[in-house]
Amino acid sequence: MIDVRLLATALEDDACLSYVASEADGGTVLFKGTIRNRTAGKPVLRLTFEAYDAMAVREMESIAAEGLEKWRCHRVAIHHRTGTLLPGDTAVLIAVAAPHRQAAFDCCQFCIDTLKLRVPIWKKEVFADGEVWVAAHP
């Protein structure tokens, strides 16, 4: 079972954890990606996330389905933010539950690594002296 959401409001750990909770599973992993207050030593004021919504949701669903199948996990929740975030805010949550912990760790790592490679979401870092689209240039 898969719960994918692209949200403009604050992400809730409990929403992901309660979605994946099941008596059939002995291990739950929650990955939480938060906004750092510095990039290469420069203070970050805020970040803006932009998404191609329809495709971002489809790609996250397909990644979650791939992870579930490959590691035989039961449930995955992926929640990702859009809009403006401040240091400390949560940008992404990925919760995975499986009968045993190794599958949950591996599936969760696959989901976040693959999300960063192919889900059409972009972040712009805003500094005191300008803005940068992250990873746009070599």
Distance of CA 92 to the CA centre of its chain: 3
Q: Return the number of the residue (39 or 102) whose C-beta is nearest another protein.
A: 39
Q: Does 46 bind another protein (CB under 8 A)?
A: no
Q: What angle do CA 57, 84, 130 make, to 5 degrees?
A: 120
Distance between CA atoms of residues 133 and 122, nearest Å = 7
The stretch near another protein (CB under 8 A) out of 7-15, 50-58, 65-73, 95-103 is 50-58
Q: Which of 7, 17, 52, 126 binds another protein (CB under 8 A)?
A: 52
Quick one: tokens of 46? 């805020």
Cα Dmax for the chain: 52
| Ranges within 105-134 binding another protein (CB under 8 A) | 112, 115-124, 133-134
Strand (E) or helix (H) holding 61: helix 53-71
Question: Taking CB under 8 A as the rule, which mask of x and - marks residues 62-91 in contact with another protein?
Answer: ------------------x----------x
Q: Min. distance of Cβ 88 from another protein in angstroms? A: 16
